[in-house]
Structures are given as structure tokens and as C-alpha cells.
Amino acid sequence: MIRSLTPALSPSDSLRALIYLDWHIFLNRVRTIRRDPKRLLMWGVFILVILTVIPQRFLLRSSAAPVISEVATFLNIVTTFVPGLVLVFLGLKIANSRKAMGLFRSAADARFLCGSALPPRVIVLWLDFRMLRLLLMQLPAYALWFLIFASNIRGAIAGILAFGLSMGLFFGIVLGLNLPLVRLSHSKSAVLRVAGASLAVVGMASLGTAVSRVGHLALVPPAIAPILLGLPPGSWMVGGFHANLWAFLALGICMIIAFALTLVVAHDVYPEVWESSLRMITVRRLMRQSGGFLSPRETRQAMREAGVQQRQRPTAAVSSQGRHVPPGAWTLLWKEWLAAIRVRGGLRWPVITLMAAIVIGWGAGGGFGRLPPVVQLNLIALPLYLLVIINMMMSIRLGVDLRNPLWWLSSASLTARLLVLTLARSLRQVIPLAAGLLAAAIAAGSVAVFVLGLLLFAAAIWAVQAMGIGVYTIIPTPVDLRGPGQLLRMLVLMALLIPIVIVFTIAAVLSEHVAIGLLTASATAILEGWGLLMFAASRLQGNGLAFAQAERR
């Protein structure tokens, strides 16, 4: 019996099959959650937070209108940067067109969708739609911000809808351009790189204009500034945030054009979709196998086995002569330094970060004093929040060291070694931070900016690192990206921050000075960090291998 090719299904039959797939995946997900409600733990915490915020909103509505207006000022300032950011994003996307956005979530998509009789155009549009839906699933996370910032509940709901529609249309444009750009990059790679770079440069100019406007600096001629700040599609998105119908229409037309281009190329894009999805498929598979724990070495190996193209890593280095190696626990500082300079690219990224910190510091310092107080507060609070969160999210693992016999041969105390380790890891962030703060202090003509800022940020970074090690000895797993383990660990870390916040509040209220509150909080953070390091050392002493093995599990 000789078989021929199965004819492609009609679009209506194809849609029915895809709806069957989606609907049953949804049903089974609901059933799974019903059987194992722990999967809803994160949502439970989120809803709890929302429920506690709503009464505050009613209170603010009646008594704190000035705060709302200051917040609105802050949001208006933030939206000034949107056109530039969007253009830079689009420029980079066009310049890197070969790296498409992966649409397959698992190899099952490749097997069951590509290997079916469904027409490729229907499949590609459906994959795009699924990606858009997944992106919009993030929207409830923004709901909290709207509830905090909006002047009333109705305003919050309208804000969420306008923001969601605007973002959805923009992601639709990006998704629609995804595959046409990849196909185009095969023949017009250089043209796309030039076009992308040009767009990014225009975006940077727009960002510069926004900085100049916010900081009241006369860097851009007044005739050009409005043009640079009103460039589409970012300006349409801002219009969308304010529920402007014309803005939605413009974004909608762009999205339709982008998807029409997708339809043109969709009959032959499976190889591109597969190649761009392979990395994500491999990472997801690895996470499922290892319960979220991904060591770089295992990830690299899995990528290699899956055929994901990887850059060559250096396999040899000039050995250090070891003439200036500090003794005792401080040897770890030397070891971390060697690790830092031997990563791919060497000191290139640290130097770029340092330069960027100086530029940002100089810009912020120059205009800082002229900004509204709420913006000043956010400019301090947001980076601090980001630093704390990034340090919390950074995998704090000691398994590699604890498994190494050399670690245990050291004559220095375990507490000292842990202290140096946390200092070394903190230095990677503290050095560019110090440079940025120094630039800001010079531009602002204020020594306090440098002294206070450095003390505050450095203490926060080091304390979170120390807390991470303390928590590691209670839950010896890295802070992964999902699962109740991550939530639990984050909650413990958050709980450890509570004493610092309490001390700050008491000190600031009693002294009626924020700076004294910050200084006292920094000292508390350092004390708490030191206590946690001693706690970690007592837990690890004589039991290190057990922790290393627990981390692997």
C-alpha cells in the first residue's frame, strides 16, 4: 500500500481542531488546579494584596488628593520616555531580526502542529494569538499599580483596560513583524541592521530629549524637541494609555498590516519558528526535569545536545603568577576576581556598566534638585527596589564551593570566608554604583549624595546577599524562577527586611530627618547581615556536603 500526502484541512476544520486543543488544555489545567490548589498560591497572595489595597484607595480618595496629583505628575514624566524606549526596542528588534521570537512552547507543538494537515498560515496565526494571549496574562500584575495610582476604582478599571489594549496592540505589531523580519533577514541582513540601528539612534535622541525636558536642561533645540517626543508608535501608545480612540485606531491599523505580512510568509516558516524556539524548549524541558534548578553547566550541555548554537567559551587562560594574592579568607576575593575577568568578553561588560553608571549618575545629579519631590523619591526608591529584587532573584548557591575540597582546606574561619564571598559578589554592583553616585554628587555639588547614597545602596546589596546565604542554609535551593519554593524563599527574605523598615521608620519619625532614618536602617541591615552570616556558618560547619547535595535535589 503506497500512501500519498494528506490534503490540507479547510480553515474551518483547522480552527475546530485548534479550539479543541486549546479548550481541553484549559479544562485540564482547571482540573489540575482543583486537585492541587497549591498551584494557586501565587495568585492567592496577589489577590490578598489587591484586597488590602482597595480600602486604602477609598481612604486616599477622600483625604489625599495632593498625593494622587503628584503621582499623576510622576506618571506623566514616565510616559515622556515611552516614544524613545519603543523606538530603541523596535530598532534593536529589527537589527537582530535573525533572532526571532520563539512561538513553540514545546517540541509537542512541532510534532503535533507542523506534522498535521492544518494549513501553516492558520497554525502560525494561532501561535501568534497564543503568544499575545500569554503576554496579556501578565496584565493583572499591573492592576495593582493602577489601583495604587488611580484616583478611584472606576478610573483604575478604565486605566487597566486602556493600558491593556494599548500594550496588546503594540505586542500585536511586534508579533506580526516577527516572522516577516526573520525571512527578510536571510536576504537583506545588512539593510535591516542599518535600518534597526538608525531607528535605535532616533530612539536614543528621543530619550535624551525626555531626560533634557525632565531635568529642565536646554540640550535639545525647542523646534526639534516636540517632534522627538511625539514619535510614533510610542506616542500612539501614550495616547492609548489616555484612552484616545485615534491612537487605538493607528495602532490597530499597524497591527493589521503586520499580521498581513505574517500571512504572506507563513506558508514556509516552520524552520525559523523551530530554530528560534529551540532554546526556550530546551530551557523549559530542563526546568521540568530539574524542578527549576538550572546550573549554567547543565544548561550549556542541554543546549549543545539540543543543537542550539552557542558561542565558543574560552578553554584556556594565562595562569596568574599569584604574587599579589591576599592571604586567608581574602584569597576568595582573588578567586572571584579571576572568575570575573575570565567570563566571555572579559571586563567589557563591567566597563560598559561603569561608563553607563557614570553617565546616568551625571545626568541624574544635574537635574535631580529641580525635579518634583515625588520624582526624586521614585528615583531613589525604584533603583533601590530593583537592586534588592535583583539580588534576591540572583541564584545564591554555595554548592560548587561546598563540594570543593579546597574550600574546606582553608585555615580561615567559615564566617570570614562567607563574609569575603558576599563582599566579593557585592563589589560587582557596588563599584559601578559608587562611580555613578560620585558623578551624581559632583554634578549636584553635594557630598551627601555620594556618602549617603553609597552607604545606603552598598549596605542594601551586601545585606541582601548575606540574607540570601542565611536563607540558603534553611532552604538550600537556588532562588529559581517559579514554584512554591521560590515564593517561600522570597517571603522569608521579605520578612528579614521588616526589622530594617521598622528601624528606618522609627528613626526617621523620631529625628524628623529621612537621612538619619536611612543611616540607621543601613546600620541595622549590616548588623542583621552579619548575624545571618554567623547563623549560616554555624549551620554549614561540618555539614557542608549535605547542603551541596540538597541543592542538587
Partner 1 sequence: MMEQLSGRDRPARPEFEVVPSSLGQGLTVEGLTKRFGSVVAVDRLSMQVHPGQILALLGPNGAGKTTTLLCLAGLLRPDAGRIAWQGNALGPERTRAMALIQETPEVYDMLTVWEHMVFVARSCGVRGAWPARAEQLLERLDLTEKRDTLGEALSKGMRQKVLIAAAVLADTPVLLLDEPMIGLDPKGQRELREILVEIRERGAAIIVSTHLLEYIDTLCDSVLILKQGRVLMSGPISEIMHERANQRLEDVFLEVTR
Which one of 42, 92, 114, 340 is in contact with partner 1 (CB under 8 A)? 114
**Cα dist. 309→98, 213, 268, 320, 335 in Å?**
13, 44, 22, 31, 30
Task: DSSP for 99-157, please give it.
Answer: SPPP--SSHHHIIIIITSSS-HHHHHHHHHHHHHHHHHTTHHHHHHHHHHHSSSHHHHH
* Residue closer to partner 1 (CB basis): 105 or 403: 105
* Residue closer to partner 1 (CB basis): 16 or 216: 16
Which one of 42, 75, 92, 110 is in contact with partner 1 (CB under 8 A)? 110
* Residue closer to partner 1 (CB basis): 3 or 324: 3
* Residue closer to partner 1 (CB basis): 32 or 511: 32
- Contact between 365 and 439 (Cβ < 8 Å): yes
Q: What is the DSSP letter of 166?
A: H
The CB-of-309 to partner 1 minimum distance in angstroms stands at: 6
The CB-of-12 to partner 1 minimum distance in angstroms stands at: 12
Q: What is the DSSP letter of 483?
A: S
CA nearest neighbour of 212 among 339, 367, 74, 97: 367
Alpha carbons 242 and 206: distance in angstroms, whole number:
20
The CB-of-274 to partner 1 minimum distance in angstroms stands at: 4
* Residue closer to partner 1 (CB basis): 181 or 464: 181
Query: Which three cell numbers mark 107?
Result: 517540541
By CB under 8 A, residue 264 contacts partner 1: no
By CB under 8 A, residue 445 contacts partner 1: no
Which one of 38, 43, 67, 111 is in contact with partner 1 (CB under 8 A)? 111
The CB-of-263 to partner 1 minimum distance in angstroms stands at: 15
* Residue closer to partner 1 (CB basis): 285 or 428: 285
Using CB under 8 A, which of the segments 24-32, 50-58, 349-357, 468-476 binds partner 1? 24-32
Q: Spell out, one character per residue from 168 to 207, where the chain touches partner 1: x when CB under 8 A holds, - when not.
A: ----------------------------------------
Alpha carbons 62 and 348: distance in angstroms, whole number:
53
Alpha carbons 163 and 160: distance in angstroms, whole number:
5
Distance of CA 161 to the CA centre of its chain: 23
Query: Which three cell numbers mark 186?
Result: 536571510
Q: Where are the beta strands (DSSP E) in 417-493?
A: none
* Residue closer to partner 1 (CB basis): 208 or 292: 292
* Residue closer to partner 1 (CB basis): 13 or 336: 13
The CB-of-293 to partner 1 minimum distance in angstroms stands at: 18
Q: What is the dihedral of CA 462, 467, 472, 475, to 10 degrees?
A: -160
Which one of 133, 267, 344, 513 is in contact with partner 1 (CB under 8 A)? 267
* Residue closer to partner 1 (CB basis): 25 or 47: 25
Contacts 24+ apart (CB under 8 A), 328-334: 328/410, 328/411, 328/412, 328/416, 329/410, 329/412, 329/413, 329/416, 329/417, 329/419, 329/420, 330/420, 331/410, 332/417, 332/420, 332/421, 332/424, 333/420, 333/423, 333/424
- Contact between 281 and 195 (Cβ < 8 Å): no
Which one of 44, 45, 48, 112 is in contact with partner 1 (CB under 8 A)? 112
Using CB under 8 A, which of the segments 20-28, 384-392, 523-531, 538-546 binds partner 1? 20-28
Count the site residues for partner 1 by CB under 8 A: 47
**244 three-class SS:** coil
Alpha carbons 145 and 78: distance in angstroms, whole number:
14
For 11, how many CA atoms within 13 A lie in the half-sphere containing its CB?
5
The CB-of-29 to partner 1 minimum distance in angstroms stands at: 5
The CB-of-104 to partner 1 minimum distance in angstroms stands at: 10
The CB-of-31 to partner 1 minimum distance in angstroms stands at: 9
The CB-of-28 to partner 1 minimum distance in angstroms stands at: 4
Which one of 16, 216, 342, 348 is in contact with partner 1 (CB under 8 A)? 16
**11 sits in which H/E element:** helix 11-35
Q: Is the peptide bond before 7 cis (omega within 30 degrees of 0)?
A: no
Using CB under 8 A, which of the segments 12-20, 138-146, 292-300, 429-437 binds partner 1? 12-20
Which one of 5, 59, 245, 498 is in contact with partner 1 (CB under 8 A)? 5
- Single-letter amino acid code for the residue at 411: S
* Residue closer to partner 1 (CB basis): 88 or 281: 281
Alpha carbons 310 and 299: distance in angstroms, whole number:
11
268-327 residues near partner 1, rule: CB under 8 A: 268, 270-272, 274-275, 281, 285, 288, 307, 309
The CB-of-129 to partner 1 minimum distance in angstroms stands at: 16
Distance of CA 240 to the CA centre of its chain: 24
Alpha carbons 161 and 23: distance in angstroms, whole number:
25
Which one of 40, 47, 117, 400 is in contact with partner 1 (CB under 8 A)? 117
* Residue closer to partner 1 (CB basis): 121 or 425: 121
By CB under 8 A, residue 118 contacts partner 1: yes
* Residue closer to partner 1 (CB basis): 109 or 551: 109
* Residue closer to partner 1 (CB basis): 75 or 114: 114
C-beta atoms surrounding 547 within 10 Å: 20
The CB-of-95 to partner 1 minimum distance in angstroms stands at: 19
> Rounded to a whole number, what is the distance in angstroms from the first to the last CA of the chain?
51
* Residue closer to partner 1 (CB basis): 304 or 348: 304
Which residues of the chain form contacts with partner 1 (CB under 8 A)?
A: 1-9, 13-14, 16-18, 20-21, 24-26, 28-29, 32, 106-108, 110-118, 120, 267-268, 270-272, 274-275, 281, 285, 288, 307, 309
